[in-house]
């Protein structure tokens, strides 16, 4: 803005500045009026009896003060909307008591300092409005994919610029571990959250959110975008593995086939975007047993025991299927548990085992009750169910010491010797 102190100069320079910042005309007029009313209140204590007329195109400003003429001896003479007869006739000689005086006030009457303050206030108000517009814009975009250009790579975050030149950020926690960023490249992510930090909007993007994977499916699979296929749930370990449960309300559409595409054409684009994340697409069902079987794919389950009271599921598999169910680094079982909303415990089936099993409570004279309770907590309530698990697995899944587990194994083995 220029330093022109006339009303026309102030309004014209402000209008030009506001247009550069994409501020619409009604908002621009409202900001100007607010600032001028503030100037009036500082000088006259109230703006109740003032009218402001602004023509932003021509840079015109008119400020009118309205007061009723009262007798010089009147008790009301000191009211803000009253003027004494002797003062009124100085403005217009033929005024009479009871009439209304409309007096024009000029910007210069407020003094140079007040005008300078007004100019600074106008600039600040536009900047604040700009921040608010940016905040609201991105607030409405939370959960949507946007593209930004990398301009600075820092230790804790990567800074990008959006199409309008606004700064946006992908913190380290929202980056896929295998992501490598280069200055000037375009990066896709979802708007994760928008916060005000020290009065400035902070726009945080995410590439690790399950919602990002969901939006990528919408972009690559028309049936998902059109609502013919619904994504029921997404769980992922970013950059490593993900499971996506899908459902179709149209029997003619195979939701898994549609999401994967011919020879994997649709899912390949998503996998590439997510640094070769391994994506399992499964058919959603409300049949929990079937859902668990699908979630633990590629492992084949022999039998399932569901305990809804403690949200645990025990799955029994042939020894050669156990490692498939658990997956590399335990990822398969971890994601399957999150997908189903139950803690899944894997048990090896003992081949050719025909001997009868024994309830753990039968060993209460040799094994302390709190130890039995801890074993039951992870779904082990018989001798064989405990013996099928290695000492390492029991140590990992319970709060029991190694020595205690060795003792339990020894006691239970004796039963079957």
> pLDDT averaged over consecutive 10-residue blocks of the chain (417 residues)?
58 79 82 91 92 81 92 88 91 90 89 87 86 92 96 94 93 94 95 92 96 96 94 95 94 92 91 94 94 92 88 87 85 94 84 64 86 83 84 84 90 82
Question: Is residue 112 helix, strand or coil?
Answer: helix
CA dihedral over 330, 332, 338, 343, signed as positive or negative: negative
Question: Model's pTM, two decimal places?
Answer: 0.68
**For residues 341 and 232, is the Cβ–Cβ distance under 8 A?**
no
Would you state the pLDDT for residue 203?
96
Residue 229 has φ and ψ, to the nearest 5°, of -120, 135
CA dihedral over 21, 23, 25, 30, signed as positive or negative: negative
Question: Is residue 126 helix, strand or coil?
Answer: helix
Burial of 165 (0-12, 13-18, 19+ CB in 10 A): exposed
Question: Residue 160 corresponds to which tokens in the numbers above?
Answer: 């990008």
Would you state the pLDDT for residue 351?
56
Residue 16 has φ and ψ, to the nearest 5°, of -65, -45
DSSP code of residue 336:
H
On the question of a common fold for 210-284 and 286-349, the answer reads yes
The CATH number of 141-208, from 2.40.50.140, 1.10.10.10, 2.160.10.10, 3.90.110.10, is 2.40.50.140
Instruction: Tell me whether strands 157-161 and 145-153 are parallel, antiparallel or unpaired.
Output: antiparallel
**For residues 209 and 235, is the Cβ–Cβ distance under 8 A?**
no
Would you state the pLDDT for residue 1?
41
Question: Residue 105 corresponds to which tokens in the numbers above?
Answer: 């006030």
- Rounded Cα distance, 160 and 232, in Å: 32
The CATH number of 286-349, from 1.20.1050.140, 3.30.300.20, 3.50.50.60, 3.40.640.10, is 3.30.300.20
Return the residue matching tokens 């905040």: 135
Would you state the pLDDT for residue 355?
52
The CATH number of 7-135, from 1.25.40, 3.40.1000, 3.30.1480, 1.10.3470, is 3.30.1480
- Rounded Cα distance, 233 and 246, in Å: 7
Q: Which helix (H) or strand (E) holds 100?
A: strand 100-105
- Give me the residue spans of the domains in the chain: 7-135, 141-208, 210-284, 286-349, 360-416
DSSP code of residue 359:
B
- Rounded Cα distance, 387 and 409, in Å: 7
Question: Is residue 353 helix, strand or coil?
Answer: coil
Region 210-284: CATH code: 3.30.300.20
- Rounded Cα distance, 63 and 56, in Å: 14
Q: How far apart are the first and last CA of the chain?
A: 94
What dihedral angle (degrees, nearest 10) is formed by the CA atoms of 257, 259, 262, 264? -110
Would you state the pLDDT for residue 6?
67
Q: Which of 88, 59, 58, 57 is nearest to 71 (CA)?
A: 88
- Rounded Cα distance, 223 and 266, in Å: 12
DSSP code of residue 307:
E
């Amino acid at each position: 803005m220029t330093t022109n102190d006339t009303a026309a100069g102030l309004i014209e320079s402000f209008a030009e500045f506001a247009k550069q910042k994409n501020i619409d005309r009604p908002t621009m007029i409202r900001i100007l009026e607010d600032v001028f009313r503030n100037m009036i209140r500082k000088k006259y204590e109230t703006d109740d009896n003032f009218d402001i007329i602004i023509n932003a195109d021509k840079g015109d400003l008119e400020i009118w003060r309205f007061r009723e003429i009262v007798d010089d001896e009147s008790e009301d003479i000191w009211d803000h909307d009253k003027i004494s007869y002797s003062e009124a006739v100085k403005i217009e000689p033929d005024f009479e008591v009871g009439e209304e005086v409309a007096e024009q006030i000029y910007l210069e009457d407020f003094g140079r300092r007040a005008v300078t303050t007004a100019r600074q206030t106008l600039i600040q108000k536009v900047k604040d409005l700009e921040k608010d517009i940016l905040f609201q814009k991105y607030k409405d975009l939370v959960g949507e994919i946007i593209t930004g250009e990398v301009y600075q790579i820092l230790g804790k975050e990567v800074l990008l610029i959006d199409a309008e030149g606004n700064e946006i950020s992908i913190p380290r926690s929202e980056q896929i571990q295998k992501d490598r960023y280069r200055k000037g490249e375009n990066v896709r992510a979802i708007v994760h959250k928008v916060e005000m930090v020290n009065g400035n909007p902070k726009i945080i993007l995410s590439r690790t959110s399950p919602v990002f994977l969901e939006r990528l499916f919408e972009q690559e699979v028309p049936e998902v975008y059109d609502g013919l296929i619904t994504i029921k749930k997404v769980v992922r370990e970013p950059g490593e593995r993900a499971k996506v449960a899908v459902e179709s309300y149209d029997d003619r559409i195979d939701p898994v086939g549609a999401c994967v595409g011919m020879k994997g054409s649709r899912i390949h684009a998503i996998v590439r975007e997510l640094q070769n994340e391994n994506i399992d697409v499964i058919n959603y069902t409300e049949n929990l047993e079937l859902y668990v079987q699908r979630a633990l794919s590629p492992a084949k389950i022999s039998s399932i025991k569901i305990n809804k009271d403690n949200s645990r599921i025990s799955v029994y598999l042939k020894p050669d299927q156990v490692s498939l169910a658990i997956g590399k680094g335990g990822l398969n079982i971890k994601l399957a548990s999150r997908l189903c909303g139950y803690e899944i415990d894997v048990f090896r089936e003992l081949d050719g085992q025909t001997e009868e099993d024994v309830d753990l409570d039968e060993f209460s004279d040799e094994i302390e009750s709190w130890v039995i309770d801890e074993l039951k907590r992870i779904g082990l309530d018989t001798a064989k169910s405990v013996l099928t698990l290695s000492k390492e697995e029991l140590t990992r899944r319970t709060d029991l010491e190694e020595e205690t587990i060795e003792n339990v194994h020894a006691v239970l083995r004796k039963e079957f010797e």
